[in-house]
Chain A
Amino acid sequence: MIRAEGVEKWYPNGFHALRGASLTVNRGEVVVIMGPSGSGKSTFIRTFNALEDFQKGSITVDGLALSNDVRQIDAIRREVGMVFQQFNLFPHLSVLENLTLAPVLVRKRPRAEVELQAMALLERVGIAEQAEKFPGQLSGGQQQRVAIARALCMEPRILLFDEPTSSLDPEMVREVLDVIQALAAEAITMVVVTHEVRFARQVAHRVVLMDEGVVVEQADPESFFTAPRHERTQRFLEQIL
Chain B
Amino acid sequence: MGTPSFPAKRLPVAALLPLKRLRAQLAPTVADGLLSLGLLALIAWAAVQLGGWAIGRADWAVLQLNSMLLLVGRYPLAEQWRLWLLGALLAAQAGLSWGLLRAWPRADRREQGQLWPRHDRIAAVLITLLALLLPAALGLAGALQGRWWLLAAVLLALRWAAGRWGPGLHRRTLKLLGLLWPLLYLLGFWLIGGGLGLAAVAPGEWGGLLLTLVMASFAMALSFPLGVLLALGRRSNLPLLRWGSVAYIEFIRGAPLITLLFIGQNILGFLLPASISPDRVWRAAWVLTLFAAAYLAEAVRSGLAAVPRGQLEAARSLGLNQAQALVTVVIPQALRVALPTMVGQFIALVQDTTLLSLIGLLDLLGMARGIMANPEFLGHSSELYLVLAVLYWSCCAALGLGSRALERRLDPRSLAGRP
Q: Tell me the A residues contacting B by CB distance below 8 Å.
A: 49, 51, 70, 74, 77-78, 80-82, 84, 86, 88-92, 94, 101-102, 105-107, 132-137, 150-151, 154
Contacts and interface: CB of A to CB of B under 8 A. Distances in A.
Contact of B336 (A49, A81, A92, A101): A92
Given A92-B333, A134-B415, A136-B412, A102 B311 contact: no
Contacts of B324: 105-106
A154 B314 contact: no
B257 to A, nearest CB: 34
B333 A77 contact: no
Interface in B368-416: 410, 412-413, 415-416
A77 B410 CA distance: 30
Nearest to B412: A134
Interface stretch (B275-283, B315-323, B348-356): B315-323
28 contacts: A51-B316, A70-B321, A77-B318, A77-B319, A78-B319, A80-B317, A81-B318, A84-B310, A88-B310, A88-B313, A88-B314, A90-B311, A90-B315, A91-B333, A91-B412, A92-B332, A92-B333, A92-B336, A92-B410, A92-B412, A102-B315, A102-B318, A106-B319, A106-B320, A106-B324, A134-B412, A154-B318, A154-B319
Contact of B416 (A91, A137, A154): A137
Give the interface size class of chain B: 20 to 34
- Residue in B313, B332, B419 with the greatest tally of chain A CB atoms within 10 Å: B313
A133 B332 CA distance: 18
B412 A49 contact: no
B329 interface: yes
A132 B333 CA distance: 19
Contacts of B333: 90-92
Given A92-B333, A101-B318, A136-B413, 14 more contacts: A51-B313, A74-B319, A81-B318, A89-B314, A91-B333, A92-B332, A92-B336, A101-B320, A101-B329, A102-B319, A132-B418, A133-B416, A134-B413, A135-B412
A210 to B, nearest CB: 21
A135 B324 CA distance: 21
B328 interface: yes
A172 to B, nearest CB: 19
B292 to A, nearest CB: 25
Interface string B299-341: 0000000001011011111111100100011001100100000
A54 to B, nearest CB: 16
Contact of A81 (B317, B329, B418): B317
A135 B321 CA distance: 23
Contacts of A150: 318
A102 B320 contact: yes
A51 B328 CA distance: 19
Nearest to A102: B318
Contacts of B319: 74, 77-78, 102, 106-107, 154
Nearest to A134: B412
Interface in B170-215: none
A150 B329 CA distance: 14
A74 B313 contact: no
Contact of A86 (B310, B412, B416): B310
Contacts of B310: 84, 86, 88
A84 B309 CA distance: 12
Nearest to B329: A90
A77 B316 contact: yes
A137 to B, nearest CB: 7
A135 B413 CA distance: 9
A133 B419 CA distance: 9
